[in-house]
Amino acid sequence: MADRSDLKSSFNTTVSGRAGELEQVAREILTHPESGYREQRTSKLVAEWFTASGLKVQSGVAKTGVIGTYDTGRPGPHIAIMGELDSLILPGHMFADPDTSAAHACGHHAQIGSMLTVVAGLVEETVKRGLVGKVSFMATPAEEYIELEYREVLRQAGEIEFFGGKQELIKLGFFNDVDIAMLTHTGGETTGTLGIGGSNNGMIGKTVQYIGRAAHAGGSPHLGVNALSAAQIGLAAINAQRDTFRDADTIRVHPIITRGGAAVNSVPADVRMETYVRASNVPAILNTSEKVDRALRAGALATGASVRIQTIPGYLPAKYDARLTEVYRHNAASLIGDDNVIELNHSTGCTDMGDVSQIVATIQPTANATSGNGHGIDYIVENYDLAVTKAGKAMGLTVIDLLSENGEKGRSIAGSFKAPMSIPDYLERMRSFRSDITYER
């Protein structure tokens, strides 16, 4: 087999020759954003790209996901390289869809570009001949945990069980023989760097429905039961709990009202909310969830409304593998210099890469190539060379380290990983989070 340094040289040369094409794919996705489990156009584009690259393609995975399989034909580790298909809903973003308000304000379009960059370099024949094992390129749906009512409709119809795309892939068995997983996100911390390590909060979701009694808001409000007042009391009660949240648990609770009433001259009788309960560890998530439920019930009790609280499995906390991180660090430094590879701190944001990290050795580096606030209307990828080309190269060079020389490094990392839970244990844990309780007036 070819020397590993020669494989890396061939990989880099091939990718550099296609950098403009790969950036264009990312920009194409940017201008046609689609939210989770709706990513039809984006999925089709990725599937066509996989097919043109000679990969074995599975479409319609977890509703809108696409998997392209790169198989060397020689036994070795199985690596998953991922990119996320979906966008946020963000009216006012400069690239928001005029009809749906979908917008890539989290950089997932660049993730897909960096994933395809790895494909472009690995399919080069010299590189492929020097590797063992296989790589599953997973274009995953629905990482952004939004539109909970829509996803509940999909669940009730039997189209999905979990609201996150990677969770669905785990349930469907696509991670059963995966040894190592990676994905590169975008970010804005210390522009021009690649971030490594760190960790992420986990979370659960809740949908809340207060049911009151409609009445004429001016003529006979005394005959009504105001569901909006119930919701306001519930929100105030949540706020009254905040000084009980331990700083070490990095708890975040941030409800929104998605329906506030039907008409201004009718006492609101159907008010709906969504919220997350985030924390750095599962016990803190569960403890805070109980506090939130009590607060929501208080609003109903005070006003005589009913409240239905549906708790939905969210994402588990993310813990990234130290040995895999070191392999990636070396390759990232070869591209941008050691001083520009930075250690990340704990993030209070959540990702379904956390779920993946509970079952296989996982990393999620960050390409700090953006301006504006994440999930804000001003969030823009400014440096596509870093976010797509170099981010993809760093992952691809890491794959070469893991799968060259008979896959010894990949086997070693996979063999030393102590999974916090098995896939059956993971699925049991996630299902245990779900509840649906109505407190009657």
Contact in structure between 272 and 227 (CB atoms under 8 Å): no
- Among the CATH numbers 3.30.1540.10, 3.30.70.360, 1.20.1250.20, 3.90.930.12, which is that of 213-304? 3.30.70.360
Comparing CA positions, the residue from 77, 204, 84 lying closest to residue 148 is 204
Farthest-apart Cα atoms in the chain, separation: 85
Angle at 275 between CA 272 and CA 278, to 5 degrees: 170
List of residues 6+ apart from 353 with CB closer than 8 A: 82, 166, 181, 183, 200, 318, 362, 364
Q: What integer pLDDT is reported at residue 1 of this predicted model? A: 57
3-state percent helix, strand, coil for the chain, nearest multiple of 5:
40, 25, 35
- Name residue 295's beta-bridge partners: none
CATH architecture type of domain 4-198+318-426 = 3-Layer(aba) Sandwich (3.40)
Stated length of the chain = 441
Cα torsion angle, 186, 190, 196, 201, sign: negative
Q: What integer pLDDT is reported at residue 2 of this predicted model? A: 76
Q: What integer pLDDT is reported at residue 135 of this predicted model? A: 98
Cα torsion angle, 164, 181, 317, 351, sign: negative
Q: What integer pLDDT is reported at residue 206 of this predicted model? A: 96
Pairing label, strands 252-253, 256-259:
unpaired
Contact in structure between 231 and 210 (CB atoms under 8 Å): yes
| Per-residue tens of pLDDT for the chain, all 441 residues | 579 999 999 999 999 999 999 999 999 999 999 999 999 999 999 999 999 999 999 999 999 999 999 999 999 999 999 999 999 999 999 999 999 999 999 999 999 999 999 999 999 999 999 999 999 999 999 999 999 989 999 999 999 999 999 999 999 999 999 999 999 999 988 999 999 999 999 999 999 999 999 999 999 999 999 999 999 999 999 999 999 999 999 999 999 999 999 999 999 999 999 999 999 999 999 999 999 999 999 999 999 999 999 999 999 999 999 999 999 999 999 999 999 999 999 999 999 999 999 999 999 999 999 999 999 999 999 999 999 999 999 999 999 999 999 999 999 999 999 999 999 999 999 999 999 999 997
The span from the CA of 17 to the CA of 306, in Å, is: 62
- Name residue 203's beta-bridge partners: 278, 315
> Other C-beta atoms within 10 Å of 6: how many?
14
> Other C-beta atoms within 10 Å of 95: how many?
19
User: Could you state, in order of their start, the residue ranges of all structural domains in the chain?
Assistant: 4-198+318-426, 213-304
